[in-house]
Structure 1
């Protein structure tokens, strides 16, 4: 511990060389607020305000006065807090001042904690006017999110004091070396310094006059555009490059994230001094990201050089040292669990190229999902009177859980006779609650897992089968194991999420792979083929081999097979249908012909069947004892479906052997299920989706005769499929090609051929050729339709009828009007009140299939309406009413309004026409004279909402004589 303490103090003492003395400095230079929850039962937090002061003669007096400051807790309360003993650094030209208080919050909520310090420094150039920058109050804040399940959360602590200087024209960088003891993710972003609104107040605002440092830059170090930015991942803040001497302030925020939720923000407001001297900054060689298993000893060399050939001092900051920002050791385990990292040698100015060794003996208590960042800083040691310059590099270290060691797999026996015994070394790298996940996959392919990759991705093919406690060192797997299949296993440790400790969830690296192929202690199914397809008394032949992996001397006899049958491709209702005594001598396959029984006949037409064989040996007590059972194998199930002059075939089987990567044969009978069957095709089955075939009548294999013919919708066709398969297990290669036939399935092709749509024409009106007398006094109309059938190579010429569709308005949907039998090709649509309307015609085949619609034809009405300008309502029966002249045509409705010569309305009506008798609306006779009218005429045209025709005119009433 003294060793680490000396590292930190030496780094701070070196500030006597690093930090320039500025006579104008009068007060606080930098600061931030951090928090730490200290109670599991209450929302009690330890809140710390860390401030960095100028202790030069010009600023020491003001710094001495900063004994108490008011900390605002963000819940409406505040407290004046006494300063802890100052830690003087930089040869007592600067100090670290700590103000610490404990506060209990009333409820779970977000809170912003803040503090105001009365003065900043004078002559801060980017806080204009610089001569009055000491009148701007210093204000910083931190926001924490308190939630019920957050636990003992702490905000990140910034372990590198902001005490470095910069040189004009050179890139300056600062890294706060922020560390989060809880392993939360950190992100960084720039901000703007704030000022307090009043002394000891709780409110602040961004300084309005703040200027971005690039306003004081000319070019970058390499001559490009100057920049001022922060690395969101490492927190390295860089100004490339200062353009003039002076002091400058800026701020940045450290965000704290957990499970994708922002749970805190900490602001650091800091100041740097820019000088102009010939010194050039040193450099640290780039450092690789490291990922190690817990328990690994890290020895990482860190090398730095100085372009001026001067000696350099390499220091380091980070939670791995368990040292605070003042260089003093923290309480044991405050930041990480021991052991702590070391830097060797320390406290040494080295000739360059200089190399120190970062040494850290990691352990299981340091596992966490977030990486550890170690910030290395190099200072040059220039001649007296020249300011030292710095550079940074970040070493990112990911510590992951070690793998479970020495996993093995071997076969074993259980009550079911099929099991794999797994064993592994005791696993001690995890707290209580850690589980071991056991994964399994088929096959022994050793998937290469990327280094330092934790857990097992689904893409590796492994699937979780069970979880066991961390104390377990073995497991017997009996879950759905199949004979002749190789199984691979891996183990992964999964740690609990324990806030406030050092294992914050996540998984370990996967163990080594252990692979095992189960021995063949059971018979092996080789055939389930359908001999006869019937509703009852069907027949299936079943074959199986002896237990290949079992020799006569391995188990005592006599031996027995028990054949079992279940209904369906996946049936589980197995029942014993035959008992066969056997020996283990090399012998041909055992064959059994299943014909069912009188009480339970075999319906091979409706059902597939599934078979398996139990194998028994004689135990030492003379009892028949089941050793194992075969994998079940089903018959091949063929399905046929009618299509347009075609039959679609598909087939499936549930077998322990693979029927893919083989050629299957298709047989067809045109004479019914009793045959004869001709082979018509071969199908190359490569995958699960290729067990299909479409028969269009073509015979593609004519060695047994060419039976090609268009399939008729009036005939039934029967089919049978022969499958071929093999076991993938090399030990079963001697079983050769396994051949099975499906049941017979018949189907009648459909005929979905439709007629071609007819070509329709309509005798429509030519409005331009009509005279006013056309359709005079006609109230009923007829539309004459005629059509011509059309033909095509894909159309059915056998037309039974035609359907006429009609809609009164356009574009309404047309509905069925009527149907006429073929060969009629015309239709008169009569008794219409208007000729307006639209039509199409379809053709219907003798099979009842309807064609697409013909062309659409529409007829438009030719309306006509005119009114006279005089009538004589004198009762002589001549011209007694005001009504349309000559022959009105296609009028639906007329709205009439009549006015006298003074503009008063005297009459109005609405109806199918106009027939005014010269009286007012209430029946009073109007005198002779001139009247004005407006007639709104609605016509029976093709458009549903056609605009009416508005006619305005005058009419004269003459009484006392005919007109």
Structure 2
């Protein structure tokens, strides 16, 4: 390598300083802190404080201070349980001190270790010999996430590289819990929240004679980065020999209810030693990713070569090699120097304990062994995924009352915790393989339930009865099932899907065949409904001819507010007219009656297809859905058809069949970008569409009707739509609701709060109202600040009765009062949002009422002075602690304390002398509401029992209301003690 005289002089000076300092310099090159939870009942951890030291120093590692983030700290060497030192190569020693520590409660803790000092001569910071060494590890202890351990690093953090050649390093991190890891560059520190002095990235221009040609290929500047997924650190390429210290943080993530949470992190401070050499690094031949079913054996030969022909040491690191049960192995082990091509043989007999959602990462490291000069390395990450076998023996048997019983073999993997039950109408053939576990997204199966794999007694659960939650399954449908085993978090994982098992429900009720939109209009829409008679009914028990009622409901589903639109008809078809098919889908039920008018049964509900669209630049994405008892994903006829206008220049208003889409592969989605005829969509045109679905019950007795063809409404959409819809109008609360009247009918412990909101779409002709949903905004106080987003909803009303938790609406929290302010905005199909409505607010109706007399005589009735309050349930049952609230015959719930947050209560004698004081903010109790109920027993602050007589009190109350000026109220009154 060629360098300027200035760089050479700098190198010589650095090297001489390094030699001069070694006689008295301190010692730390690299390190990290690892945490392991060692108790399932207490919050006890084993911390391993690891330091890599310079063996040329006489200073012993371990004399620094460790802090646990909970106020506890101490000298590492003095409080450690054990320590170990191992001599490695290249003047590096591995030192580890273990410390046991128990935290007193959940929380986020940062464990820190600081020791003086780093080894001398580090070139990318100033005066490293006098710079303390600092590392930290963060832990989240939260029962929601269960037991957690930090990642473990298997590859030492001291490595060598060469000037001008790309440097690679991988820490070989794995998480014992199977959590996901991410890697991020940070800056080395000398103490908490303080970086080392004058830190420079290794690719800083001061380390290069020609920075713009600093990479290995000499065609660009150098780079220094870490792969956030694999953790491979890459420096392309070092420019000046010497010792560099860098740091990175490894964060661990766990998924809960679909959201990722950061559980903790480990900071690794590492050292890179760059030497001048003409050597070239070895090269590992990248192994292909492997998928294996648990129980299978992996046997793989991994090969490395070297461009200079130097011998190579080849080895593997990773979690599977650390397992206690059926670990992986490689040979030769320990690694040996081999002539090229060097080989190691990797072996792993997998089992069910190894199943997890994420692939395992095996880090392959090759290091060459030149006769002189620096030894260089290459890293490759090899992914191995272990998946679970499919459950076996699934059968389906028809039962009475439109039910089906499933039975299967006891699942072979005992560590699986759940069995998913998947169902669809009509058979669908697919062969699970190639690591495609679980249920394919567009196969038409619906997850109907999840059951435990094992009972509380430890027995395998191997059966399930499907009755559609007591509603009964759809008449005429051929129901097909598959089951999937799942594994507990944090590792997670799913099995392959089982083979399919089917059973058919008899046609003992009407079977709807069509809910077909035949005219799209805001006022004159039409839907054609057709059904098959219940031909499997016993004609002796249920004599015909049959008659039918047709009941219509607005929306895709739901059984409220139905309209009977036809009664006592003999036909098996009906055209429903006068509908707004532009704005709404509709669904239908058919009721069947004997020839004497006796009711027999009803069909399963079925809806019309509903089409929606999203606009983008020069394209429109169509999506559709229908809630029907048949399957719209057919194995033999999987294509749904698409119609559109603006196809024929002479008849632009006519709709033509333009394309079809394979819903088993793409789902109910189609993207129109004009490619079907090579004509791009125009931003100036509104395009109209409808789709036609194909369905089947999978029943041979109904096969004559297959496929069941049903059309959606006609929908208009414009590419690159940027025009927002109009703001909704008539935004209001339920007008019939009165807070005080409502609560006068509720028990004192009532906490089922909700606000019912209503609105309408602005029907003005000037509005671009291709509305798909509405945004609701909410705050629990009346503020001038913009209200934050609450939820996106469809329809024109919303019941607000819960708030999202930290995990979103997957784990909602109940609404705690009525108070709050709301706004609403409309959202169109292109994601444009209207202006917000005016703010509307609702307040609580607070109250508190005090009695004038109480009898503290120990009889368990009226023994304490408290606001009027009544609890339901046993008051003074055997073995129970007597209740302390006032009980009044015929209690009036209007007297309950409502929306009281704090009370300050004082009792005085006739002269104004203070006898007793109580402040609810200074008290705590596990009893709900007890902190504001006072419960004074008639004694003074010193415990003296007051005599019968009249006393006076003052009461300061803080209420939970919208406006701050209404929160605080003061009351005065008298109390008669009767003993």
Normalised by the size of structure 2, how large is the TM-score? 0.50
For 1:941-956, what aligned pairs fall within 5 Å after superposition? Answer: none
- In the alignment, the residues of structure 2 paired with residue 453 and residue 38 of structure 1 have an alpha-carbon distance, to the nearest angstrom, of 36
Distance 1:22 1:371, change over 3 A: farther
How far 1:372 moved relative to its partner?
Answer: 2.1
- In the alignment, the residues of structure 2 paired with residue 653 and residue 85 of structure 1 have an alpha-carbon distance, to the nearest angstrom, of 75
Q: Does 1:208 find its partner at 2:197? A: yes
Q: Determine which of 433, 438, 443 is the counterpart of 2:421.
A: 438
Q: Determine which of 111, 115, 140 is the counterpart of 1:113.
A: 111
1:31–1:269 Cα contact (<8 Å) kept: yes
How far 1:375 moved relative to its partner?
Answer: 0.9
Residue segments in structure 2 that go unaligned for 5+ positions in a row:
1-16, 454-459, 515-530, 554-562, 591-602, 610-639, 645-694, 709-979
- In the alignment, the residues of structure 1 paired with residue 242 and residue 443 of structure 2 have an alpha-carbon distance, to the nearest angstrom, of 59
Q: Determine which of 244, 264, 267 is the counterpart of 2:240.
A: 244
Q: Does 1:175 find its partner at 2:181? A: no
1:660–1:687 Cα contact (<8 Å) kept: no
How far 1:638 moved relative to its partner?
Answer: 4.5
1:43–1:105 Cα contact (<8 Å) kept: yes
- In the alignment, the residues of structure 2 paired with residue 477 and residue 377 of structure 1 have an alpha-carbon distance, to the nearest angstrom, of 53
How far 1:490 moved relative to its partner?
Answer: 0.8
C-alpha distance after superposition, 1:109-166 (max 9, x if no partner): 32222222212122211113xxx32111111122222224343311111111123210
Distance 1:566 1:75, change over 3 A: farther
1:404–1:492 Cα contact (<8 Å) kept: yes
How far 1:637 moved relative to its partner?
Answer: 5.2
- In the alignment, the residues of structure 2 paired with residue 605 and residue 95 of structure 1 have an alpha-carbon distance, to the nearest angstrom, of 85
Match of 2:343 in 1: 355
How far 1:70 moved relative to its partner?
Answer: 1.9
Match of 2:410 in 1: 426
1:304–1:314 Cα contact (<8 Å) kept: yes
C-alpha distance after superposition, 1:543-567 (max 9, x if no partner): 979769xxxxxxxx99765348676
Q: Determine which of 495, 499, 508 is the counterpart of 2:487.
A: 495
How far 1:262 moved relative to its partner?
Answer: 1.6
Match of 2:574 in 1: 636
Q: Determine which of 182, 196, 204 is the counterpart of 1:187.
A: 182
Give the secondary structure class of the aligned counterpart of 1:308: coil
C-alpha distance after superposition, 1:63-118 (max 9, x if no partner): xx335332122223211122745433335832111122122223333222222221
1:343–1:356 Cα contact (<8 Å) kept: yes
1:658–1:726 Cα contact (<8 Å) kept: no
1:160–1:177 Cα contact (<8 Å) kept: yes
Give the secondary structure class of the aligned counterpart of 2:45: strand
- In the alignment, the residues of structure 1 paired with residue 128 and residue 484 of structure 2 have an alpha-carbon distance, to the nearest angstrom, of 59
Match of 1:397 in 2: 384
Match of 2:30 in 1: 30
Distance 1:610 1:727, change over 3 A: farther
- In the alignment, the residues of structure 2 paired with residue 634 and residue 86 of structure 1 have an alpha-carbon distance, to the nearest angstrom, of 85
How far 1:41 moved relative to its partner?
Answer: 3.3
Give the secondary structure class of the aligned counterpart of 2:128: helix
How far 1:423 moved relative to its partner?
Answer: 3.7
For 1:245-644, what aligned pairs fall within 5 Å after superposition? Answer: 245-259=241-255, 260-322=260-322, 336-346=323-333, 347-383=335-371, 385-409=372-396, 411-412=397-398, 414-416=399-401, 420=404, 422-431=406-415, 434-447=417-430, 451-456=434-439, 459-470=442-453, 471-477=460-466, 479=468, 480-482=472-474, 484-497=476-489, 504-516=491-503, 562-563=543-544, 568-570=549-551, 607-609=566-568, 636=574, 638-639=576-577
For 1:866-877, what aligned pairs fall within 5 Å after superposition? Answer: none
Q: Determine which of 122, 126, 134 is the counterpart of 2:129.
A: 134
Match of 2:57 in 1: 60
Q: Which has the larger Rg?
A: 1
- In the alignment, the residues of structure 1 paired with residue 705 and residue 446 of structure 2 have an alpha-carbon distance, to the nearest angstrom, of 31
Match of 2:722 in 1: none
Distance 1:110 1:435, change over 3 A: closer
How far 1:377 moved relative to its partner?
Answer: 0.3
How far 1:252 moved relative to its partner?
Answer: 0.8
- In the alignment, the residues of structure 2 paired with residue 118 and residue 361 of structure 1 have an alpha-carbon distance, to the nearest angstrom, of 46
Aligned length: 544
- In the alignment, the residues of structure 2 paired with residue 90 and residue 354 of structure 1 have an alpha-carbon distance, to the nearest angstrom, of 23
C-alpha distance after superposition, 1:843-875 (max 9, x if no partner): xxxxxxxxxxxxxxxxxxxxxxxxxxxxxxxxx
Give the secondary structure class of the aligned counterpart of 1:61: coil
Distance 1:320 1:404, change over 3 A: same
- In the alignment, the residues of structure 1 paired with residue 696 and residue 140 of structure 2 have an alpha-carbon distance, to the nearest angstrom, of 63
How far 1:381 moved relative to its partner?
Answer: 2.0
How far 1:22 moved relative to its partner?
Answer: 8.1
How far 1:288 moved relative to its partner?
Answer: 3.2
1:523–1:547 Cα contact (<8 Å) kept: no
C-alpha distance after superposition, 1:719-747 (max 9, x if no partner): xxxxxx99985545679999xxxxxxxxx
Give the secondary structure class of the aligned counterpart of 1:452: coil
2:53–2:92 Cα contact (<8 Å) kept: yes
How far 1:517 moved relative to its partner?
Answer: 5.1
Distance 1:735 1:220, change over 3 A: closer
Give the secondary structure class of the aligned counterpart of 1:608: strand
- In the alignment, the residues of structure 1 paired with residue 368 and residue 113 of structure 2 have an alpha-carbon distance, to the nearest angstrom, of 36
Residue segments in structure 1 that go unaligned for 5+ positions in a row:
1-20, 197-202, 323-335, 528-541, 549-556, 573-603, 612-632, 644-649, 662-685, 691-724, 739-963
- In the alignment, the residues of structure 1 paired with residue 180 and residue 587 of structure 2 have an alpha-carbon distance, to the nearest angstrom, of 55
How far 1:659 moved relative to its partner?
Answer: 13
Match of 1:225 in 2: 221
Distance 1:559 1:155, change over 3 A: same
Distance 1:308 1:658, change over 3 A: same
Give the secondary structure class of the aligned counterpart of 2:57: helix
2:166–2:216 Cα contact (<8 Å) kept: yes
For 1:92-107, what aligned pairs fall within 5 Å after superposition? Answer: 93-107=91-105
How far 1:320 moved relative to its partner?
Answer: 1.5
1:170–1:241 Cα contact (<8 Å) kept: yes
Distance 1:733 1:431, change over 3 A: closer
Give the secondary structure class of the aligned counterpart of 1:320: helix
Give the secondary structure class of the aligned counterpart of 1:488: strand
C-alpha distance after superposition, 1:674-709 (max 9, x if no partner): xxxxxxxxxxxx99999xxxxxxxxxxxxxxxxxxx
Give the secondary structure class of the aligned counterpart of 1:110: strand
- In the alignment, the residues of structure 1 paired with residue 281 and residue 317 of structure 2 have an alpha-carbon distance, to the nearest angstrom, of 19
1:185–1:256 Cα contact (<8 Å) kept: yes
2:587–2:605 Cα contact (<8 Å) kept: no
1:117–1:137 Cα contact (<8 Å) kept: yes
How far 1:373 moved relative to its partner?
Answer: 1.6
Give the secondary structure class of the aligned counterpart of 2:58: helix
- The alignment's C-alpha RMSD in Å is 4.3
1:159–1:318 Cα contact (<8 Å) kept: yes
- In the alignment, the residues of structure 1 paired with residue 29 and residue 513 of structure 2 have an alpha-carbon distance, to the nearest angstrom, of 86
How far 1:658 moved relative to its partner?
Answer: 11
Q: Does 1:46 find its partner at 2:43? A: no
How far 1:520 moved relative to its partner?
Answer: 7.7
Give the secondary structure class of the aligned counterpart of 2:442: helix
- In the alignment, the residues of structure 1 paired with residue 168 and residue 643 of structure 2 have an alpha-carbon distance, to the nearest angstrom, of 62
How far 1:481 moved relative to its partner?
Answer: 4.2
1:637–1:652 Cα contact (<8 Å) kept: no
Give the secondary structure class of the aligned counterpart of 1:214: coil
Deviates more, 1:226-235 or 1:77-86: 77-86
Match of 1:532 in 2: none
Match of 2:157 in 1: 162
Give the secondary structure class of the aligned counterpart of 1:76: coil
Deviates more, 1:74-83 or 1:467-476: 467-476
1:659–1:726 Cα contact (<8 Å) kept: no
